[in-house]
Chain A
Amino acid sequence: MAAKTSLKGKGKAGKGSKGSEEGSSAAKCVKEWSTWAMKKAKVITHYGFIPLIIVIGMNSEPKPQLYQLLSPV
Chain B
Amino acid sequence: MGSSVSHAAAPPPPPTAVGLAVALPPKQDEKAEPKNVDWLNLPCPVPFEEIQREALMSLKPELFEGLKFDFTKGLNQRFSLSHSIFMGSMEVPSQSSDTFKVPTAHYEFGANFLDPKLMLVGRVLTDGRLNARVKCDLTDNLTLKINAQLTNEPHFSQGMFNFDYKGTDYRTQFQIGNNAFYGANYIQSISPHLSLGTEIFWLGHQRKSGIGFAARYNTDKIVVTGQVASTGIVALSYVQKVSEKVSLASDFMYNHLTQDATSSFGYDYILRQCRLRGKLDSNGVVAAFLEERLNMGVNFILSAEVDHRKKDYKFGFGLTVGE
| Chain A contact residues, CB within 8 Å of chain B | 1-5, 7, 10-11, 42, 45-46, 49-50, 52-54, 56-58, 60-62, 64, 68-69, 72
The smallest C-beta distance from A70 to any residue of chain B, in angstroms, reads: 10
Interface residues of B in 183-216 (CB under 8 A from A): 204-205
**Contacting A50 at CB < 8 Å: which of B111, B148, B177?**
B111
Known: A57-B78, A60-B76. A7 touches B176 (CB 8 A): yes
**Contacting B120 at CB < 8 Å: which of A11, A46, A56?**
A56
Known: A2-B155, A68-B75. A7 touches B113 (CB 8 A): no
Docked pose: A68 CA to B205 CA in angstroms: 47
Check B111–A57 contact: CB distance below 8 A.
yes
Docked pose: A1 CA to B132 CA in angstroms: 18
**Contacting A72 at CB < 8 Å: which of B73, B75, B115, B152?**
B73
Check B130–A57 contact: CB distance below 8 A.
no
| Chain B contact residues, CB within 8 Å of chain A | 71, 73, 75-81, 109, 111-113, 115, 120-122, 124, 130, 132, 148, 150, 152, 155-159, 176-180, 204-205
Q: Would you call the interface of chain B mostly helix, strand, loop, or mixed?
A: strand
- 26 A-B contacts (beta carbon < 8 Å): A1-B158, A1-B179, A3-B158, A4-B179, A7-B159, A7-B176, A7-B177, A7-B178, A10-B180, A45-B130, A45-B132, A45-B150, A46-B130, A49-B130, A50-B130, A53-B112, A56-B113, A57-B75, A57-B80, A57-B111, A60-B76, A62-B76, A64-B76, A64-B79, A72-B71, A72-B73
**Contacting B79 at CB < 8 Å: which of A1, A10, A52, A58?**
A58
Closest 5 CB pairs of A and B: A57-B79, A64-B75, A53-B111, A3-B158, A50-B122
The smallest C-beta distance from A64 to any residue of chain B, in angstroms, reads: 4
Docked pose: A56 CA to B117 CA in angstroms: 14
Check A42–B157 contact: CB distance below 8 A.
yes
Pick from A46, A60, A72 the residue with the most CB of B within 10 Å: A46
Docked pose: A3 CA to B180 CA in angstroms: 10
Docked pose: A5 CA to B178 CA in angstroms: 6
* A-side contacts of B180, CB under 8 Å: 7, 10-11
Docked pose: A50 CA to B124 CA in angstroms: 8
Q: Which residue of B lies closest to A11 (CB)?
A: B180
Docked pose: A49 CA to B177 CA in angstroms: 19
Check B124–A3 contact: CB distance below 8 A.
no
* A-side contacts of B109, CB under 8 Å: 50
Check A69–B75 contact: CB distance below 8 A.
yes
